[in-house]
Amino acid sequence: MSPTAPVVDAAQSQSLFQTAYIPWLVAGYAAYVLLYRAVLYPRFFSPLRNVPGPPLGNPLLGHYLTIVTSESCIPHREWAKAHGAIVRMMGIFGKERLMFLSPEALQQMLVKDWLDYPRPQFMRDVLGLVAGYGLLTITGDEHKQLRKAMNPAFSITNLMAQTEMYYEPIEGLIEIMKAQIKAELTPAAGKIFTMYDWMGKVTLDIICDTAFGYKTDSLHNPHNELAVAFEQLLELQSGPNLAKLVAILSLPFSATLATSEWMYRHRWIIGRLPVIHSFERLVDSMYRIRGISAAMLRAKTADLSVAPDDTSTKKDIMSLLVRARKADLDADPRADAMTDTAMVDQVLTFLAAGHETTATGLSWTLWLLANDPESQRKLREEVTPVYAANPRPDYRTLKSLTWLNCVVNESLRVLPPVPLTIRAAQKTDYVEGVLVPKGTVITIPIRAINTWKEVWGPDAEEFHPARWLALPAAYNPAFSHFSFIAGPHGCIGKAMALVEMKAVLVALITNFEFAPAYAGQVAHPATAITMKPEDSMPLRVSRVVS
Ligand code: HEM
């Protein structure tokens, strides 16, 4: 043995000693960070510590579990009642969140300084994956340009021309429901229909026709490829699935991978993994939806009838985009025109944003009418003569129906299809005198804003369509009924959704009576991006006896 050997041994054992301590040091540091971030910071150091709000809750999970296991936006509404229009809540690992209800705060964050309050990155990642990388995911100048390019598709002129396209699916729905009631042993007693499923089919057929000029006819053909893929995608929409998706998308390159050809061919790998195995269906449905959309785009681009100046024949959104791109390239062949992939993404956004929201709105309207026979009777009285004169009422006629307008507004107010949304502060700012640190996630509690007693009075949470005939003094047209929010990111499809809901309701209410499916039936709004009814809304439907 060399004389230096004992020295080396001592050095080795010292380094081994140090290595053994590394996990303890890491664990100690993590515990300190956790203790500081989750316990000490929010209680003693945060600039938000004096903002009113519920008790801080579990240090690791904050109010997360309360929010995802409760009916959408109900905890937020209760906190607003208890603490006022500015509330501090806790996310996971001590992440503070703020919630604002007042028109002044909403105006600042969503209208005046909207560029400083974009949708948070995790929200954009999820929306991009399931709804295409379009208006819902981009912000700033890119958003301004795209929104400008899209606005003509939602102009009143285009909407007036489009309304006619809604009636083929609506008439199909009425015929199917009549036939199914007639086939019952006692037709006079009606039949129970799960109305959300039927509203999903009719709105899918309408949006596919208006977005792509493509006839899905899911009402008669439940195996239509696009309808099946969409149904599969929507089944995955739940609070826990969204949480898993956010976690997965936080991994680098995961979004690109999820939409890749490779992932589609190897999706079975996901199916064999624990916890996330259901996302195999997500990859499958997204791939198929994108494939069908791309094929439709190719067909349209090749379609010689889509001439740049042809506005009389094709009213669907994709044709408008193809025409706009052609016009740009004709004017300047080197123009920076939208790519095929970008066009497919835009149309997918409309398909995703415009289908389930409207189906949810219609289902809740029927539920509320089923539980308010007098409002339903009044609506039938108003719409029956209109339908008798013309079973395809046009845009202007639908807009002119007073009670129908009250019913639709009131339903969207009390049960908004999108119950809340979120934003993230891009810079440290003051909102209503509260210091909002950069990075703070802000909740816009749509359902709580819509039913705020300070504006709507003590019966704010109840369905009373007549309130739209005499609005309260505190009503603010832009910020008191916030179902479509406001500002540059406000819903581009608002006018379309309203006229579509009205067209469906005129036909349904003229032909059928709606009642709860059974005594004591209770509604179950799901906790997800949209507030769809968890049980698909069974209602007893009978023919109107004239
Ligand atoms: C009752 C039905 C509907 C409701 C309640 C609704 C509600 C909303 C809400 C609350 C937002 C804002 C989301 C956020 O910023 O976080 C939004 C955005 C959007 N909606 Fe709707 N929507 C409906 C129907 C439609 C329809 C029919 C379409 C299109 C065909 C559509 C297309 C969009 C698009 C593209 C955006 C993103 C706008 C942007 O950021 O520029 N929506 N919608």
- What predicted TM-score, i.e. pTM, was given to this entire model? 0.90
Q: What is the tens place of the pLDDT at every residue in 365-391? A: 999 999 999 999 999 999 999 999 999
Q: What percent of the chain has pLDDT over 90?
A: 52
Residues ≥6 apart with Cβ < 8 Å to 101: 80, 85, 86, 445, 448, 449, 452
The tokens describing 320, both together, are 């408008």
ipTM: 0.99
Q: How far apart are CA 94 and CA 112, in angstroms?
A: 30
Pocket of ligand 1 (CB under 6 A): 119, 135-136, 147, 349-350, 353-354, 357-358, 361, 416-418, 421, 483-485, 489, 491-493, 496-497
DSSP assigned state of 525:
B
Taking the chain, what is the end-to-end CA distance rounded to the nearest angstrom?
111
- Give, using CA atoms, the residue closest to atom 20 of ligand 1: 491
Q: Which residues are annotated as a binding site?
A: 491
Residues ≥6 apart with Cβ < 8 Å to 78: none
Q: What is the three-state SS of 199-265?
A: HHHHHHHHHHHHHHCCCCCCCCCCCCHHHHHHHHHHHCCCHHHHHHHHHHHCCCCHHHHHCCHHHHH
The tokens describing 471, both together, are 């609005």
Q: Name the strand (E) or helix (H) holding 193.
A: strand 191-194
Q: What percent of the chain has pLDDT over 70?
A: 94
Q: What is the tens place of the pLDDT at every residue in 390-430? A: 999 999 999 999 999 999 999 999 999 999 999 999 999 99
Q: How far apart are CA 137 and CA 131, in angstroms?
A: 9
Q: What is the tens place of the pLDDT at every residue in 64-78? A: 888 888 899 999 999
Sign of CA dihedral 374, 412, 462, 66: positive
What is the pLDDT at residue 5? 46
Using the predicted structure, report yes or no on whether residue 4 has a pLDDT greater than 80: no
- Residue carrying the six token digits 């090749």: 302
User: What is the whole-number distance in angstroms between the Cα of residue 437 and the centre of ligand 1?
Assistant: 28
Mutate to test the pocket of ligand 1, among 147, 206, 320, 491 (most ligand atoms within 8 A of CB): 491
User: What is the whole-number distance in angstroms between the Cα of residue 135 and the centre of ligand 1?
Assistant: 10
Q: What is the tens place of the pLDDT at every residue in 142-189? A: 899 888 888 888 889 888 988 999 999 999 999 999 999 999 989 989
Q: Which atom of ligand 1 lies at the shortest distance from residue 497's CA? A: 27
> SS3 for 44?
helix
Closest CA to 341 of 254, 259, 285: 259
Q: What is the tens place of the pLDDT at every residue in 253-273? A: 777 787 788 888 888 888 888
Q: What is the tens place of the pLDDT at every residue in 184-216? A: 989 989 999 999 999 999 999 999 888 888 888
Q: Kindly report the CA angle at 260 between 258 and 261, in degrees rounded to 5? A: 130
User: What is the whole-number distance in angstroms between the Cα of residue 166 and the centre of ligand 1?
Assistant: 19
Q: How far apart are CA 28 and CA 41, in angstroms?
A: 17
- Give, using CA atoms, the residue closest to atom 16 of ligand 1: 421
Residues ≥6 apart with Cβ < 8 Å to 519: none
Q: Which residues are annotated as a binding site for heme?
A: 491
Which residue has better confidence, 166 or 126?
A: 166
What is the pLDDT at residue 376? 98
